[in-house]
Structure 1
Amino acid sequence: MSASALPKSVDGMLELLTSRGYLAERSLATVAYLSLRMGRPLFLEGEAGVGKTEIAKVLSAALGRKLIRLQCYEGLDVASAVYEWSSAAQMIAIRLAEAAGDTDREQLSSDIFAERFLIKRPLLQALEPDVAGAPVLLIDELDRADEAFEAYLLEILSDFQVTIPEFGTIKAPQPPIVIITSNRTREIHDALKRRCLYHWVDYPEAERELAIVKSRVPDISAKLSQQVVRFVQALRDQDFYKSPGVAETIDWATALTELDARSLTPQMVGDTLGALLKYQDDIARMQGDTLQKVLKEATSD
């Protein structure tokens, strides 16, 4: 995977994203372009499945940069996200030194905290130099992590460096391209947001979603693709626990194509709703009159 130059305009960013099948709206392409040019992290919020994570993957592939992903979760700590010491390897080194009669404790203390004993986790890996250029660092679903970890990110996002008490400060020779995503299950503190450029990734309008479906599911018929998009767009007007995102639209369109469907029918929709809706309560709501109403709206010419 060879490295590519950064786009030189918003149009260039649109072309770069489109070349990898990511059909972005111009406002997203603009903020992504500015993020690259200004060297600022890009903070993306929006519902699950609207393409926030995908943009990091697309940038990595299109620019020929390594993708380093940190998946956030409750309880995420420094040892899992940044670094830890290999205590087993350190213990072996101590035993070998003792067996060799090396009793210089100060030297031994220095030796066991050498870089070869350092286990580098995603955030530290993202600060390392790379011949292909600075990597793309994806900090995914930051809202799932604890606030204490969010605060720890401030040093990294401010100076792109990590301080390890036993080792010293490691600073990136070139800042990574940082994409942070959040499903907004909780608010992210202003201190972190101020260090980023922000964009809310919304559900796409029908025309763009249709283009996405045709791009990602090339074998789908024109009639079925239009019906799928109309159906999903209508579903998002319903009072569901979780409305389907673009990812679910693509999954459903793929499933229908695998079943050789040519148009939506009540039977076909009922049999495949599990590809589109992921909560039983939502599926239960899509029965009877509600299903007939949405299906009629989707299939009417």
Structure 2
Amino acid sequence: MPKAAKPARDPHQLPASIDETLTLLTGADYVADRSLATVLYLALKMGRPLFLEGEAGVGKTEIAKVLAASLGRRLIRLQCYEGLDISSAVYEWNYAAQMMAIRLAEAAGETDRARLEGDVFSERYLVKRPLLQALEPAAEGPPVLLIDELDRTDEAFEAFLLEVLSDFQITIPELGTIKAEHPPIVIVTSNRTREIHDALKRRCLYHWVGYPDAERELKIVRTKVPQAPAKLSREIVAFVQHLRKQDLFKQPGVAETLDWASALSELDAVALDPRIVNDTLGVLLKYQDDIEKTGGAATEQLLADMRSEQRV
């Protein structure tokens, strides 16, 4: 008797194991190690926010994008910046529409001030920002809320987030408390330009996203830039790995490695040489001091060290 086919997995269903989580990430071309898949699985299983910390360009934001796309959930992104406040992150009232409604009511002879106030402070005039949007129900399941680069905000806004991440609710004085029926999947990222307060970290599971080792970075390059010749991909990864050992103001992240691989492929390069490295360092490094420190004779030495190590 033929074996019954295994039922297809519901794309909106959360992964049931660490291996399924790893498969979900791999299926979306995100090359993750098992430790990341483990903490992501636990965050989904326990309904806890996941706090991802690491240098810029190592793939923290991409995890939220991949998760939303793989699960078929809406991605709601709150891009943090200095001076971010409640009106930009949570909600604000449509004051122009409210004033128009008040003037029309007055012109029509409306005298019931309590009724008028109730009308203009109704949900009709509420402008919902990312945090409030994330609490709304959705047919496909709770959205993925990405709070990106939290370290760019100030401590006052970080303190406000405690209510959202603790109880997944927001209090609007004119309307009351709005609570999520099903909490969103929350990914918080930080580039560690400042320390995030322990009170917020305690509400999250934590994972440090570091630079990948050579083997995993090569897999990433081959996955994301498949048009790059095999030899070129190996040399790009080896060069970047050596470059990260140098005393630079900003080491190149995985994003820069991929950009460089794409750029060199566009130039039909098949291997690295001092000329093409020096000509394209601006793709890989984003500070002039780093480019000056790495260019010229330093490039030749890095290439020589890289090839010497490859021969061993």
- What is the TM-score of this pair, normalised by structure 2? 0.95
Which position in structure 1 is the counterpart of 2:303? 295
Structure 1 residue 99: Cα displacement: 1.1
Which position in structure 1 is the counterpart of 2:142? 134
Report 1:90-105 matches (<5 A): 90-105=98-113
Which position in structure 1 is the counterpart of 2:129? 121
Asked whether the equivalents of residues 42 and 179 of structure 1 are also in contact (C-alpha less than 8 Å), the reply is yes
Quote the Cα distance in structure 2 between the aligned partners of 1:298 and 1:36.
41
How big is each residue's C-alpha offset from its partner over 1:207-263, in whole Å with a ceiling of 9 and x where there is no partner?
A: 000000000000111100000000000000000000000000000000000110000
How big is each residue's C-alpha offset from its partner over 1:14-62, in whole Å with a ceiling of 9 and x where there is no partner?
A: 0000000001010000000000000000000000000000000000000
Structure 1 residue 3: Cα displacement: 4.6
Q: Which moved more, 1:289-298 or 1:3-12?
A: 289-298
Question: Which of 70, 91, 108 is equivalent to 2:116?
Answer: 108
Which position in structure 2 is the counterpart of 1:150? 158
Quote the Cα distance in structure 2 between the aligned partners of 1:145 and 1:215.
34
Quote the Cα distance in structure 1 between the aligned partners of 2:302 and 2:125.
60
Which position in structure 1 is the counterpart of 2:223? 215
Quote the Cα distance in structure 2 between the aligned partners of 1:105 and 1:40.
44
User: Is 1:254–2:262 an aligned residue pair?
Assistant: yes
Asked whether the equivalents of residues 264 and 299 of structure 1 are also in contact (C-alpha less than 8 Å), the reply is no
Where does the alignment leave 5 or more consecutive residues of structure 1 unmatched? Answer: none
User: Is 1:190–2:214 an aligned residue pair?
Assistant: no
Quote the Cα distance in structure 1 between the aligned partners of 2:45 and 2:108.
54
Structure 1 residue 295: Cα displacement: 1.2
Structure 1 residue 290: Cα displacement: 1.6
Asked whether the equivalents of residues 143 and 182 of structure 1 are also in contact (C-alpha less than 8 Å), the reply is yes
Question: Which of 21, 29, 38 is equivalent to 2:29?
Answer: 21
1:50 match: secondary structure: coil
Asked whether the equivalents of residues 230 and 297 of structure 1 are also in contact (C-alpha less than 8 Å), the reply is no
Q: How many residues align?
A: 300
Where does the alignment leave 5 or more consecutive residues of structure 2 unmatched? Answer: 1-9
Quote the Cα distance in structure 2 between the aligned partners of 1:287 and 1:138.
37
Structure 1 residue 137: Cα displacement: 0.2
Structure 1 residue 4: Cα displacement: 2.1
RMSD: 0.9
Quote the Cα distance in structure 2 between the aligned partners of 1:139 and 1:288.
41
Report 1:31-180 matches (<5 A): 31-180=39-188
> Which residue identity is paired with 1:187?
E
> Which residue identity is paired with 1:256?
L
2:189 match: secondary structure: strand
Structure 1 residue 126: Cα displacement: 0.3
How big is each residue's C-alpha offset from its partner over 1:118-154, in whole Å with a ceiling of 9 and x where there is no partner?
A: 0000000000000010000000000000100000000
> Which residue identity is paired with 1:10?
I
Which position in structure 2 is the counterpart of 1:238? 246
Asked whether the equivalents of residues 278 and 296 of structure 2 are also in contact (C-alpha less than 8 Å), the reply is no
